[in-house]
Each structure stands twice: as structure tokens, then as C-alpha cells.
Amino acid sequence: MSNDYSDLQNIAILGEGQSIEFKESPSKLDREIVAFANAGGGAIYCGISDSGKVVGTTVSNRIVSEIQDLARNCDPSICLNIKIIDKKVLVIEVPEGTEKPYQCSSGFFLRIGANSQKLKTKEINDILKRQQSFFDSRLNNVAELKNALSREALERYCNRAAITPPTNNERLLTSLLAAGKAATGSKYYLTNAGTLLFTTAPKKFIPESYLTAVKYLSTDKFSIDDRKEFSGDLISQIEEALSFIKRHISVSYEISRTAQRIEFYEYPLIAIREALVNAITHRDYSFQNSCIYLNIFSDRLEIENPGGIFSGISAQEIEGHSIRRNPVLADLLFRAGYGEKLGSGIIRIKEALQLNNNPPYEISATNFFSIRFFRRLAKVNNKDLNEKQLQIVNLLQSSARELTGSEIALQLRVSNATITRAMIKLINEGLVQRVGVGKATRYRIGS
């Protein structure tokens, strides 16, 4: 039994997530129990409302016995740890199962973020194939909490997640599945997720946990303009990579109707941020001799991370779906204001590109997952251009070099004369610039 009310208040502030579920009363718990057992474990707090208000619930030996019977009747049976806080909140701690998948009378469930989702046959088979626990929820046996924890990183995280700085680091980190006690002995260790977020140099414990950013001068990888490696905690990696991008992409300005100047980056920062967070959250950290790559070329920006899409899932199916390789890490980043919920990240990327007038993204996925962005196109609809003129502008926008009229005609499958006629208006409107004379004439997008 426990009467630590201050810990309870911190849990209420944290809110529901990958390892925490709130219930006002101890009823219909079997779904959450098997969902936690099929994932990385977690705790159900009976007596706290969905909004995080401590309302209390009836607590008795009979209720505790009924909950234990419910867990025993799951298939396979699940062993729970039940405790009472302040005589009014029942805490049901569910360990990660060792005989996955588990089912209750309503079927198979899996904890994904703050939801317990019912599994389909294919998803059940995927769990059977994997069997082992998720990488991010495993204890890192060289990252002993008292030596490896960066108090500065934890304090920054708490500020971002609006969590009261803890008086007991072990309890807070354990409740977040960021730490745990070793099977033998009394020492606490960070999980791999905790190691990635709450140590100064995760690379010391997880060698592949860094990000390499490169700015190239052209469309290939032969001419490097700038190169940086980021290997701090994951939140630092996200912020440093975003700063690198902002230094190396152009920004233009347009005057709004209110005479205010509006910034338009070459690539929308919202989309880039989502893609970076997705790469860091969903990469395969066990993939040997590789890292996350951020490549900025003269005509595109690419973010690539080790680990393709889960078997049986296509690139087209990831939009609008929540597919998590590292559910604990995803939950921790979401609490700090990074990442998406219920698979909305790709949708936000798509919308941001449309609003910024960028072409659609491209995705490829084998052993690596890669997302590719293309430079912002000029907004020319108010110039009353015909379809061919718009095609020319878009082609020059996406080209890394100046093009001749013949090259444009070849790509658009029209005659040279058609290109020459179309160019007159584009040059007069300042949308296209002509460089050189005679046979040496080339075209580029207007400045």
C-alpha cells in the first residue's frame, strides 16, 4: 500500500499515454490489461478522470480480488501488482507480457499511445513473429540511472512537457517506462528510450543514435558545402537539425493585405519538423553501422532513417495510420510537444506542402525509409498564364541548373517554337530570366 499523494498529482499532470490509463471506476479493465501486456506494460489508475482530475473511487478487498480474477482469466493469464494511493485511488500495474499475444473475452488489444486498439488477425501474427519486447522499452544494462542520467536533459524535458520537476527521479521515469529496476539487485537502469532522451551522449550507450546533416552544392553527393553530426539527446538533435536546415534553405517574403510581410521558406518548416520527428521516433535503432541522414541538395531535401515500413504495410497505407516501431519513445516525444497522434503526421506534411506551394512529397521504403521534398514553386496563378507557361515555370523551379529552350521542349514534348512563344510573356512578367544569346541562350527562374 502507498500514500504518496505527491506522486499521484504528478501522474495526473502527465495524463494518459503509452504507459498510463485513467479510469473513474474499476470496471471493464480487461481490454486495458491485455493491451498493456501486449505492449511494454503500464499502469491503470482507477479514481482519476480522463481530464486528469483525482476523483477517487471505491476501494475494497473484494474489488481487488475481482480485478486479479479478471487478469487470471485472460489467455494467457496475467499477473498484476495492485496498490492503493491515499485510500481512494487504485493503481493496477501491468507488466509487459512474456507470452504474447494476450487476449481477453473481447479479443486481442494493443496499447498504442493513449488508446487500447483492437488487433486484427494480421497484427496478431506480427506480434507472434516479433515476440521480443520493443527495443525502446528494454532496459539498457550499461546506462545505470544514477550515473547516466542528465539532470539538465530531464529538467528541459519536464519544462517542455509541463511536468513538475520530480523529487524522485526513479518513480517518474519508471512511470514513463523510461527507467526500471534490474531483474536482480536494486539498481535502476534507463530503458533505451530513456537513454536516448535523458543522457548527454546517447551514442555512448547506443552507438547508432546520431544524425548526420549534409548540404550539397548540386543535385548529387559529390560537392559538399557543409556537414554536421548531431549526437546529443534526441530533442537536441531535432532542434539542431532544424537550425541547420534554416541556415541552408532560402526564404522569400510576400506582402499580405494588411501590409505585413509573410515568410515563405523554400521548404515548409512544419513539414520538415514532422519528417524529422518521424525519422527519429520510428527508426530502427538496432540497425548496425547507420544513422539518420538529412541531405539538402540544390533541388530537393531528403530525410532517411534506418528501418523500412513494417512487413505487409505499403507506403500508401501510412497516411492516417499510427504505426509505431518505438511506442515508448513516441509517447515520450509526444508529451514534450513533438510528433503526432493517431497517424496525423503525414497528413500535416501533405497539407503544409500544399499551403507553401511545394510539389507533393515522395516516399521510398526498403531497409531504409526515405521522404523527399522538392523546392517551393512560384505562385503565378495571378499572372493569367496558360497551362504550357505554368509547366515551364514549374520545370525551371525544380531544375538545379539553367535549361535551354530545346531541353525544355524535349521534357514537355512540344516544339521549340511553342517554347519560344510561351517565353515572351514569362520574361515580360519577370517570372523567367534569359541568359546568353543565340544558340547559347538558356533560361532560369526569375529572382
CA end-to-end span of the chain, whole Å? 71
pLDDT band for 6, please (50, 70, 90 cuts).
low
Cα dist from 307 to 2, 425, 431, whole Å:
42, 48, 42
Instruction: Encode pLDDT of 25-34 as tens digits.
Output: 988 899 999 9
Distance CA 256, CA 261 (A): 6
Give the other-Cβ count within 10 Å of 288's Cβ: 8
pLDDT band for 260, please (50, 70, 90 cuts).
low
Q: DSSP code of 376? A: P
Q: Dihedral through CA 201, CA 202, CA 206, CA 208, nearest 10?
A: -80
pLDDT band for 97, please (50, 70, 90 cuts).
confident
Q: DSSP code of 135? A: G
- The answer to whether 395 and 414 are in contact (CB under 8 A) is no
pLDDT at res. 36: 93
pLDDT at res. 2: 41
Lowest mean pLDDT across 63-67, 203-207, 253-257, 410-414: 253-257
Edge-to-edge strands, sheet with 188-191: 139-144, 188-191, 179-181
Average pLDDT, integer, range 344-349: 83
Q: What's the mean pLDDT when you consider all of the chain?
A: 86
Q: Give this prediction's pTM.
A: 0.72
Backbone torsions φ then ψ of 94, nearest 5 degrees: -110, 115
pLDDT band for 68, please (50, 70, 90 cuts).
very high
Q: Helix axis angle, 405-412 relative to 416-428, nearest 10°?
A: 110
pLDDT tops 60 at residue 320: no
Give the other-Cβ count within 10 Å of 5's Cβ: 12
Average pLDDT, integer, range 90-95: 93
CA-nearest of 216, 206, 283, 211 to 240 is 211
Query: What is the DSSP annotation of 408-441?
Result: HHHHHT--HHHHHHHHHHHHHTTSEEEESSGGG-
Average pLDDT, integer, range 162-181: 87
Residues 6+ apart with CB under 8 A from 299: 219, 374, 375, 398, 399, 400
Helix (H, G, I), strand (E, B) or coil at 68: helix
Distance CA 77, CA 434 (A): 76
pLDDT tops 50 at residue 419: yes
pLDDT at res. 1: 35
pLDDT at res. 202: 96
C-alpha cell belonging to residue 376: 517551393
pLDDT at res. 40: 83
pLDDT band for 319, please (50, 70, 90 cuts).
low
Average pLDDT, integer, range 113-137: 75
pLDDT at res. 314: 55
> Which domains, and CATH codes, for the chain?
5-131 (3.30.950.30), 137-202 (no CATH), 211-374 (3.30.565.60), 381-445 (1.10.10.10)
- The answer to whether 447 and 414 are in contact (CB under 8 A) is no
Lowest mean pLDDT across 154-158, 257-261, 374-378, 437-441: 257-261
CA-nearest of 397, 388, 445, 396 to 420 is 388
Q: Which residues pair with 405 in a beta bridge?
A: none
pLDDT tops 60 at residue 64: yes
Which of 80-94, 105-119, 126-140, 187-201 holds the top average pLDDT? Answer: 187-201
